[in-house]
Amino acid sequence: MQEALRPAVFSGLLLLAAYLRLTGLSWGVSSGYGHDLNFQPDEFVSLRGVLQLDLLAGRIKAPGAYFEGTFNYYLWAVPQAVLKISGKKQVHTADSMNTKDRSDLLYICRWMSVLFDLCTVAIVFLAIREASQTFYASLLGALCYAVLPMQVIYAHFMRTHILSNLLCALAVSDAPEIPTLATPFYRGYNFWFGSSNPLSGWDHSSDSVPLFAI
């Protein structure tokens, strides 16, 4: 009976994480844009970088993205290209304060952040379960990540930190065991230490995950 309930409990955890991240996802999308207008001014950096790309025209240089890596920007450029094909009006980069024609792109990219972060919740769960060989330790660790307030907040926005967390979690969870730290406790600790490494999001404290989860 207990084994049968575990998939339902994990599904409930994912639903909780999704609910927290989807609630208010459209907040500030149509309220004006720019450092003085939007609720998350850092999204200006993301939009400025992605608007330098045009996959359909073969324009793949994005100097505005070089300081934090271009991979996420290329992913954001995919819905931008789809919107262009569908006939949505394109926005000129210089028109930085008008959100009317870029709200669709911003909203879609926020959805991408949510999906990336839900994948990270699942990776955290699977990695800790592999490390500890216990269901409840992995559930607790994934729950800590799922409800961490700053992580929930950042998962609402079009920023690179969310994908960085996912890639960092994948890399650490797939890393070979360290022979001197091969016990389940230390393997679990190493996973959390790696996930909270500044590489997961430069010096942004919102990209940290709790070391006490195990």
SS3 201: coil
CB 175 within 8 A of CB 194: yes
| C-alpha span between 35 and 160 (Å, rounded) | 18
CB 166 within 8 A of CB 127: no
For the full predicted model, state whether its pTM sits above 0.75: yes
**Does the pLDDT value for residue 25 go beyond 50?**
yes
Instruction: Place 10 in a pLDDT band, splitting at 50, 70 and 90.
Output: very high
Report the chain's mean pLDDT, rounded to a whole number.
76
CB 196 within 8 A of CB 209: yes
What pLDDT does residue 104 have? 87
Q: pLDDT by residue (tens digit) across 136-178?
A: 889 999 999 999 998 999 899 999 989 999 998 888 877 655 4
For residue 104 the two structure tokens come to 């669709």
Distances (CA, A) of 34 to 31, 65, 160: 10, 17, 18
What pLDDT does residue 54 have? 86
CB 136 within 8 A of CB 154: no
